[in-house]
Structure 1
C-alpha cells in the first residue's frame, strides 16, 4: 500500500521496533483522516491487501469477543 510505504519512509528512523511506537504513529495518522480519506485508502488497495486487512480486523475483533466472554462469570446452572 502506497500510504504505508510513504509513512514508513517518513518515520523509519523513528521506529525502534516497539509495537507501541508503531501503533501510536498509525493511530495518530488515521485519527487525522476524514471518513472520505479512509475510504480512498481502502479503494486504492488491491484485492490481496483488502483481504488481509479485513481478515486481520475480523480476527482481532473475534479474539476480543472471546476474551470478553472468558472474563464474564458463567451463569449458574439451576436444577
Structure 2
C-alpha cells in the first residue's frame, strides 16, 4: 500500500523495532485522518490488502474478546 510505504519512509529512522513505537506512530497518524480520508485509503487497497486488513482486525478483536471472557469467567479448575 502506497500510504504505508510513505509513512515508513517518513518515520523509518524513528523505529527501533519496539511494537510500542510503531503503534504510537500509526495511531497518531490515523488519529489525524478524517473518516473520509480513511475510506479513501481503503478504496486504494487491492483485494488482497483489504482481505489482510480485515483478517488482522477480526483476529485481534476475537483475541481481545476471548481474553476478556477468560478474565471475567470463574476458574473451572478445582484446587
2:67 is matched with: 67
State the alpha-carbon separation in 1 of the partners of residues 60 and 73 from structure 2: 22
What TM-score do you get using the length of structure 1 for normalisation?
A: 0.91
Q: Which aligned runs of 4 or more in structure 1 are off by greater than 6 angstroms?
A: none
2:22 is matched with: 22
Aligned to 2:14, what secondary structure does the other structure show? coil
Q: Mark the runs of 5 or more structure 1 residues left unpaired by the alignment.
A: 75-79
Aligned residues: CA RMSD: 0.7
Q: Mark the runs of 5 or more structure 2 residues left unpaired by the alignment.
A: 75-79
Q: CA deviation at 1:6?
A: 0.2
What TM-score do you get using the length of structure 2 for normalisation?
A: 0.91
